[in-house]
Amino acid sequence: MVLRAGADYPDHMTDIFDVIADGTRRDILQLLLRRTTEGETGTSVSQIVADLGISQPTVSKHLKVLRDAELVSVREDGQRRFYSLAVEPLEVVDDWLVPFLVDAYGDEAPDIDYPVPDSAAHAAEVVGRAAASAKHVVANALKRLGA
């Protein structure tokens, strides 16, 4: 599905949807979110490899895509790199998705209480879940708009 840019649809958002459409990248984002809420300031590639049980080259490939989309930031310490979640791009997607979810659910929209410490982490969690489960809502809305 190709989403078109419009007056209220930032150009870079199509790229973000493409990036978070991959399950491994969503797993990496979820891992970084969990570690952030646990108080970690960064997660090394080797920690990601160990936690997700996937190869180092695969993790590095996905981290490059996430870095290019500015969804993660990297801090270098010698030869080690520590990755952290960068939620600003996800907040833009979250702001864009909310009206579709409200349209789909109306007054029946679920009131979800996420146990995360700040609004940035909350936005990342909401976007991760919404992108994975609300694709049909966006597609239906775009069909109604004739896009």
- pLDDT bracket for residue 3 (50, 70, 90): very low
**Residues 61-100 pLDDT 10s:** 999 999 999 999 999 989 899 999 998 888 887 777 777 7
Statement: residue 15 has pLDDT above 50: yes
Give every CB contact of residue 41 below 8 A, 6+ residues apart in sequence: 75, 82, 84
Q: What is the pLDDT of residue 136?
A: 54
**Residues 33-51 pLDDT 10s:** 999 888 888 999 999 999 9
DSSP 146: T
Tell me how many helices (H) and strands (E) the chain has: 7, 3
Q: What is the pLDDT of residue 31?
A: 94
Measured distance CA(62)–CA(69) in Å, rounded: 11
What mean pLDDT, rounded, does the chain reach?
76
Closest CA to 65 of 15, 100, 6, 109: 15
Q: What is the pLDDT of residue 22?
A: 92
Sign of dihedral through CA atoms 119, 33, 114, 3? positive
Domains of the chain: 13-85 (1.10.10.10), 88-145 (no CATH)
**In terms of pLDDT, which residue wins out, 141 or 46?**
46
Do residues 121 and 86 make contact, with C-beta atoms less than 8 angstroms apart? no
Please compute the mean of the pLDDT values over residues 124-133 and round it to a whole number: 59
Statement: residue 29 has pLDDT above 90: yes
